[in-house]
Chain A
Amino acid sequence: MTCSIKLDNISMRYGEKLALDDVSLEIPEGTIYGVLGPNGSGKTTMMKIILGLLKQTRGKANVCGYDSIKDPLEIKAISGYVPETPILYESMTPSELFSFIASIRRIDENTFRRRIDALIDAFGVSEYMNDFIGSLSFGNRQKIAIISAIMHDPKILIVDEGINGLDPRSAKLFKSILTDMRDHGKIIVFSTHILEIAESLCDHVAILYNGRIVANGTIEDLRSAANEPSQNLEEIFLKLTNAEDVPDVARYLRDEIEH
């Protein structure tokens, strides 16, 4: 069975604030889909709707044949989620947390042990397995969150700024894992503020601005949309999100500081 993500005219309202405004997109299997946008543009809201963590105000979200409102548990069973900030039980050890997740996700003992041994070794966190998660550095907690999200080999992986805080080796490893998952037909929805990473990693990119998708396609498509064939993703992003005045603002700040 093929697996894809399809959002149809999704809108999400928090009280008076419209966080997502009529968003539609389709992500086929075997894709790393980058979601870019300034802070507060609706990236996390969109990702949580895909996961069934939030119920949209309007529209339909279909994830591998499951409706996000009717079948959120089925979606969660085939998904993994790496949040922007690793939110984990601080008074548990990584070892206890992984056991807990394996029990909830009903991963069999042998598979669990093999995968966990491989993952903790690869991410270099094996020496922290008996430490309280609350005592680990941000980067190590992020690694624990990543392992928690991929240990059941999900069909869909949602990564919300998940590379933040990783050391270069772990970031490189994580990117390799993502491309490997993509090559095995999985869907990765990936948001980042580091546009170089998006440019090098993502097959498709959507730029969200004020809750609306202002651009959607491959990097080449975006260049065409911005009418700037030679520009890099950062310049396209700044243009599409009305942030082209950044150099002027920086110059103004320098003047103010110097005088």
Chain B
Amino acid sequence: MRLNTKTLFYLARRILIEERYLALKNSASFMSRTARVRNKGSYIMRFVNISYGATSLSFMIFSLILVAPSLISHEIYTLSSVVLLLFIYSLFINISNSLLFFVSVNINHILDPLRLLPVDFPDHVIAVSWFIYTGSSSLFAVLPAVFLSAFLLNSIYILIVGAIWGLFSILLGYVIGSSLFVAFGSRIGGRRTRVSSILRNAGRVIFLIFVFAIFEIILYNANLVNGVIPKLPYPYSYFVPVFNIQYSLFFFHSFYSHLTGYFISISYTALIGLSFVYINRRAFYRLIEPASRSYGKAYVHTITRVRSRPFSFFSKDLKISSRKSQNLILLIMPIFFVFPTIMSEVLYAPTTRVDPVTLYNAMVAFVIVTASFYSILFLVIEGNGISFIKSLPLDGNSIIRWKIAAPTFIFLIIDVSMLITISIKVLMGTPYYLFIMVDTALYFVSSIIYNMHRLYGKIPDTADTVNFYSFGGQIAFISTFAFTGIIVGSADIFSLAVQYSMKLDAYSFFAINTLIGFIALAFFTIRYRILPMRPGPESMMGSDA
């Protein structure tokens, strides 16, 4: 039995609603809102529509902001580069969204109930679902720019070919995203292989950094755009996919070149359409075939070792934070928040010499964002495991004491890498860099001790799971940022005030700041008994002796 078109669209909508519902169902705000709603089904659909509208609107605003300067100044070359960047952006968004959609449908077994029904499901149901409610929104990132360019240059050709390339970027994004799913989709579905896990996660991080770097660059230095885009010589400029969008849209003036432009854009879209048919089928069958279970292999004796409690906690936190893609994304999120601040204050500075206090102040933003974010994140990564941890003989102080190790380790890696990278451009002297490293570390640890303690106390005894809403949703975020800001910022302001009022040099600023940092750390360590005062209860059956 095959599905008719109406049922296909119903099913596509159902899959998306299910996916969104599973993401939201544990949130306190969602539960309290739906509790008041009579028709819960239509509430979720309304939520999906509003999300789609908001995403499309933000894409449209983003697109208009980027093209406005070159439209006003009639700089066609810059305009063409910006439009190309928007297409690249749309492509990356579609790769990322389609991959995440497949992963989500797979992990949550959303197609499982359908497999029981006596229906031959069309393999494009996932593609339809993704396109209608997710992929099509990326058109709003490119089409406004294309429309305005067509209007400015009075060219219907740009409008038509731009729309074809828009469709192309969606199809290509979906094809790449679904190919990645076919290649790497079984990550949590089988055996742990240390090297491949690390490689895949490193690949994800690099990919994300690349995507965000494009944004940051064009947002903070639009003039870089022309330099960033490779100038491909003829005939590559016509034929290298994606990069040829710029030429085919803006630099084909004659009738024959228009014909070539139509031919190239339609040919590429048709080609990618054929790839879509092939890879979509593979991805769909990957989803509906029950291949996610592990059936085991011959037992290879693994070295299972009993470590110290702090190390085992540290190791556990690193594993559960780095093996799930969504946690990995959240781990590197603070970098993207503060990257613009550091870029604008340091990397785009007119000279290579920067005041060390200015650099420290830029890094303070990184400490505040990271300490606040990681305090919440490293509690949230416990997820359902919170009930498991609570059944072990551990008190809250011990849990926090051992939990600060993993975020501090990750923070230090990012912090030191950032400072080393900055030191390549900014000449400042090693002592200042060391001061900044020590100070940022001190204030990070102090803030995370305080915040984690405060937030852990908010997890109710009855909690079987912990998520971002366990601490009160947005209010928790705001208050955590505020508290961290007070800890880090007040020390910074006090040190600055002393330095200026007494006309001291930068070394004095750092000496005062470091001293306050040590005092703050000592205070929080004693206040929250981070140093163990007495040994915790032992297992009475620790050994057979």
- Rounded to whole angstroms, the CA-CA distance of A112 and B544 in the bound complex is 10
Bound-state Cα–Cα, A53 to B304, Å: 29
Give bound CA distance, A103 to B312, whole Å: 6
Q: Is the CB of A112 within 8 A of B293?
A: no
A95 contacts B308, CB within 8 Å? Answer: no
Are A98's CB and B309's CB within 8 A?
Answer: no
| CB-based contact B539/A106 at 8 Å | yes
Q: Is the CB of B538 within 8 A of A77?
A: yes
A84-92, A170-178, A210-218, A224-232: which lies at the interface: A84-92
Q: Give the contacting residue for A54; candidates B305, B306, B461; CB below 8 A.
A: B461
Instruction: Give Cα A56 to B92, complex, Å.
Output: 53
Partner of B302, one of A81, A101, A129: A129
Residue of A nearest to B387 (CB): A87
Q: Interface-forming stretch among B6-14, B187-195, B256-264, B275-283?
A: B187-195
Residues of B within 8 A of A106 (CB): 306, 309, 538-539, 542
Minimum CB–CB distance from A131 to chain B (whole Å) comes to 4
In the complex the two chains form, is B312's CB within 8 Å of A88's CB? Answer: no
Instruction: Identify which of residues 222-273 in chain B touch chain A, using a CB-to-CB cut-off of 8 Å.
Output: none
CB distance from A155 to the nearest CB of B (A): 7
State which of B190, B304, B308, B536 has its C-beta within 8 Å of the C-beta of A98: B304
Partner of B390, one of A14, A53, A78, A153: A53
Q: Give the contacting residue for B462; candidates A14, A81, A96, A111; CB below 8 A.
A: A14
Interface residues in B367-395 (C-beta closer than 8 Å to A): 384-385, 387-388, 390-395
User: DSSP class of B's interface residues: helix, strand, loop or mixed?
Assistant: loop
**Chain A residues, CB < 8 A from B183:** none
Q: Is the CB of B306 within 8 A of A103?
A: yes
A98 to B292: give the CA distance in the assembly, Å: 23
Contact of A155 among B316, B388, B540, B544 (CB under 8 A): B540
Contact between A126 and B392, CB atoms less than 8 A apart: no
| CB atoms of B323 and A91 under 8 A apart | yes
Q: A109-B306, A134-B188 are in contact. Are A96 and B543 (CB under 8 A)?
A: no
By a CB distance below 8 angstroms, the chain A residues around B539 are: 77-78, 105-107, 152
Check: A130 CB closer than 8 A to any chain B CB: yes
A77 to B393, CA, bound (A): 5
Total interface residues on A, CB under 8 Å, equals 54
Asked if B387 and A73 make an inter-chain contact with CB atoms under 8 angstroms apart, the answer reads: no
* Contact A99:B541 (CB < 8 A) given known A87-B388, A131-B191, A135-B190: no
Within 8 Å by CB of B309, from A55, A74, A83, A104, lies A104
Let me know if B391 and A51 touch, CB within 8 A: yes
In the complex, the answer to whether A83 meets B299 with C-beta atoms within 8 Å is no
On whether the beta carbons of B393 and A74 are closer than 8 Å, the reply is yes
Is A35's CB within 8 Å of the partner chain B?
no
B537 at the interface (CB under 8 A from A): yes
Does A137 make an interface contact (CB < 8 A)?
yes
Which chain A residues lie closer than 8 Å to B190 at the CB level? 131-132, 135
CB distance from A91 to the nearest CB of B (A): 4
Residues of B within 8 A of A155 (CB): 540-541
Is A154 interfacial (CB-CB < 8 Å)? yes
Q: Does B316 contact A92, Cβ atoms closer than 8 Å?
A: yes
The complex places the Cα of A101 from the Cα of B384 at a distance, in Å, of 16
Residues on A with beta carbons closer than 8 Å to the beta carbon of B294: 128, 131-132, 135-136
Pair B305/A73 contact, Cβ less than 8 Å: no
- Selected from B305, B309, B320, B540, the residue in CB contact (under 8 A) with A89 is B320
Complex contact A88–B541 (CB within 8 A): no
Q: Mark B457-489, 1 if CB is under 8 A from A, else 0.
A: 000011010000000000000000000000000
Contact B316 A89 (CB under 8 A): yes
| Bound-state Cα–Cα, A92 to B383, Å | 13
In the bound complex, do residue B304 and residue A104 qualify as a contact, i.e. CB atoms below 8 Å apart? no
Which chain A residue has the least Cβ–Cβ distance from B312?
Answer: A103
Q: Across the interface, which residues of B come within 8 angstroms of A104, CB to CB?
A: 309, 312-313, 392-394
Contacts from A to B (Cβ < 8 Å): 14, 51, 53-55, 73-74, 76-79, 81, 83, 87-93, 95-96, 98-113, 116, 126-132, 134-137, 152-155
Listed A/B pairs (29) with beta-carbon separation below 8 Å: A54-B462, A78-B541, A83-B391, A87-B385, A89-B319, A91-B320, A91-B323, A92-B319, A92-B320, A98-B304, A100-B316, A103-B311, A105-B542, A106-B309, A108-B542, A111-B542, A111-B543, A116-B304, A126-B299, A127-B299, A128-B296, A129-B299, A130-B192, A130-B300, A132-B191, A135-B292, A136-B294, A152-B541, A155-B540
